[in-house]
Structure 1
């Protein structure tokens, strides 16, 4: 029976670098965290929507705050799981530090490929391509699925392995362990279920574009993931990245809902206390907002402990590739988490302000794709020669120059459309609004 081994799963080898450098004062996995945190795509997350649209309120979560909080939870999960596995003799002493750095880096990067306007942005990009079907039959079915089912996870993998830092030469050159933990869906678009029943959780969506297929295979082989007929079984630490994300957005969305007035203190309090396991009285003299913050902190702690226990309980199944659900669906607090999800679906996600701005975001993305797709069509009309297009189409040259659109390496419809989605998905909410103003939106 195939079984993943921790020695391979914690591979320090770097994508795009043959030599392993792991200095005691700056471990390889900590270098990965630094590379993510100091990158421009991470910086742009400060102006991208999390769940609640970006209000004129400094206390709401945007993607960067969410990513930093998720990385903090991931670090705690890693320390606790690593220490427990070391105590069982499964990992060497001190492995908790390795797991904490790996998870902290992977969690920091987990939303780095998300477009503006949250998941509504993914839906808008997908809808535009499904409606417009640019370049007709010039794309394979698998390539077309990448655009008609646009996936921020795959865009993130593209940024990490191709686009940022060492462009086309390994990207950020992260360790294979961190790339494995980052990749929740280790398969290509042609293999992902995309809404259909998936044979395993790692095939529910997809985690890499065809353009990065070799990078995905290198990561999987370097870490010893179990191969499937299409794709691979998940890296075990991807379950903990997913748990950290679930903990943060479920619990912190409640706090934001209270801050925006969508939910009252009386509605939020019992939901958080269910995660804590008891009633928690307000601090004397404290405000309701301070009480919600206190409850949130203790609820996160409770969810971390429950996630660690669930991972350890299912450890052998996970390494054998037989575990195929989210940890938060099986941990001790699953009923309390389900109650929060029900409230989110009934009250938070349908809030009028959120829906209003999602509609506006969809219209903005459609307009931007319409406008900048003209550049890709212009390149096609001139044999994919950017210089020839610039000479004969001065408007398109000015459009590319003013927007800073990157057309390097565009040589056919597939690479051209990825240049288009790289550009639009990389925008912040604010920049997308700015670029759309000349269009009258």
Structure 2
């Protein structure tokens, strides 16, 4: 029924999403003679302007701090590789898993976590900001490339996985769940759901779950890597976390004398391997227990099928806590975050007061528009910016642009 921890492609499992049975697209199109629907979605994402901009959007370290740190684009590629590995081992549709990994960060603002936090604050009176919702908005509204429709007109399965890869967003009765329980679903999701039912009450496909857990694995590993290389913490401090301590011990036992760059890499790659193998093993157990006969059986399950084991869940939380203390809250990182928050906050205020400060295609039609409509247009514009462009725009409009290097 499911794969073993082995090599090579195997026949797709019956619980995998079958591209031949796709629910289609919001705007019907003839099938491609050479690609499955999910291969076609993947290609549209890769060729989108939003995907190209990921090259100049950062996560923890802003663009001036070095060419070797991850950007949204390099992170996305790493997530895609891990998602495909998980999908192959669990006999899922690799193309759909890859597609979802490639699309998952399209809605992120410039300046990583700080940019999103500030955008959420600025948009609080207008429904807030959520990068998953913004990713949906990008692929359904903001990409304007095709003559027949706005967005990329992706398949139902890709949109479903993109919007709820972390789990159900609402109950069958329409009550928002999780982080949206108090505030309700974001505008972008709520408005699109009126046009296209994405089963917001169900779990996503196993392929979407693979992309989601691949994101966690890649995040943990590359933030450890970048944090070490940036000198934000020392290798020996990793012994605070039992999971990391065991990896460090394994590396040092095998390679007693190893130069720092190689030592870091040996640690990071083992972190990825252990997490990936844990997800595969746990996925096999959960799938064999549920015995799903279709992708909808996975969607209708009471929990995720592709996830860490309980032991690895605890270890991963400890890794994230370590990163929070030693990387995300490091004074050097916080100092830069304070600077870039000013850039986003200033731009939002200026465009709200003066929409004409945005390019014509962005402020056109806003004369006399209600404030919420203006705010959403401003939000879309800023969220699409790269780090460099945001700084350049601030420098054009203000005299006190922070010196980011």
Q: Give me the TM-score of the superposition, normalised by structure 2.
A: 0.79
Q: Which residue of 1 aligns with 2:352?
A: 373
Q: 1:7 to 1:283 in 2, by over 3 A?
A: closer
Do structure 1's residue 279 and structure 2's residue 250 form an aligned pair?
yes
Count how many residue pairs are aligned between Structure 1 and Structure 2: 367
* Greater RCO (Cα-Cα under 8 Å, separation 6 or more): 2
Instruction: Determine which of 54, 63, 69 is the counterpart of 1:60.
Output: 69
- Distance (Å, rounded) in 1 between the aligned partners of 2:332 and 2:244: 28
- Distance (Å, rounded) in 2 between the aligned partners of 1:163 and 1:357: 29
Q: Which residue of 2 aligns with 1:125?
A: 119
Q: 1:8 offset after TM fit, Å?
A: 7.3
Q: 1:347 to 1:214 in 2, by over 3 A?
A: same
Matched residue of 2:194: which SS?
Answer: helix
Q: 1:67 to 1:26 in 2, by over 3 A?
A: same
Q: Which residue of 2 aligns with 1:358?
A: 337
Q: 1:295 offset after TM fit, Å?
A: 2.5
- Distance (Å, rounded) in 2 between the aligned partners of 1:265 and 1:289: 11
Q: Which residue of 2 aligns with 1:183?
A: 163
Q: Which residue of 1 aligns with 2:131?
A: 152
Q: 1:55 to 1:407 in 2, by over 3 A?
A: closer
Q: Which residue of 1 aligns with 2:25?
A: 15
Instruction: Determine which of 62, 65, 85 is the counterpart of 1:76.
Output: 85
Matched residue of 1:41: which SS?
Answer: helix
Cα distance per residue 1:270-313 (max 9 Å; x no partner)? 76756869712465875211121122223212211211222333
Q: Which residue of 1 aligns with 2:215?
A: 245
- Distance (Å, rounded) in 2 between the aligned partners of 1:409 and 1:5: 47
- Distance (Å, rounded) in 1 between the aligned partners of 2:148 and 2:203: 25
Q: 1:375 offset after TM fit, Å?
A: 3.6
Question: Structure 1: 5+ residue runs without aligned partners?
Answer: 83-95, 134-143, 226-230, 377-395
Do structure 1's residue 333 and structure 2's residue 289 form an aligned pair?
no
Q: 1:13 offset after TM fit, Å?
A: 4.3
Q: 1:5 offset after TM fit, Å?
A: 6.8
RMSD: 3.3
- Distance (Å, rounded) in 2 between the aligned partners of 1:44 and 1:168: 24
- Distance (Å, rounded) in 1 between the aligned partners of 2:32 and 2:119: 40
In 1, are the aligned partners of 2:69 and 2:226 still within 8 Å (CA)? yes
Which stretch shifts more, 271-280 or 308-317?
271-280
In 2, are the aligned partners of 1:116 and 1:425 still within 8 Å (CA)? yes
Q: 1:375 to 1:415 in 2, by over 3 A?
A: same
In 2, are the aligned partners of 1:36 and 1:108 still within 8 Å (CA)? yes
Cα distance per residue 1:46-98 (max 9 Å; x no partner)? 1212123334311111111111111111111111111xxxxxxxxxxxxx4xx
In 2, are the aligned partners of 1:364 and 1:436 still within 8 Å (CA)? yes
Q: 1:293 to 1:216 in 2, by over 3 A?
A: farther
Q: Which residue of 1 aligns with 2:43?
A: 34
Q: 1:175 to 1:331 in 2, by over 3 A?
A: farther
Question: Structure 2: 5+ residue runs without aligned partners?
Answer: 1-13, 291-296
In 1, are the aligned partners of 2:283 and 2:306 still within 8 Å (CA)? no
Q: 1:6 offset after TM fit, Å?
A: 5.1
Q: Give me the TM-score of the superposition, normalised by structure 1.
A: 0.73
In 2, are the aligned partners of 1:47 and 1:430 still within 8 Å (CA)? yes
In 2, are the aligned partners of 1:48 and 1:117 still within 8 Å (CA)? yes
In 2, are the aligned partners of 1:33 and 1:108 still within 8 Å (CA)? yes
Q: Which residue of 1 aligns with 2:204?
A: 235
Q: Which residue of 2 aligns with 1:210?
A: 190
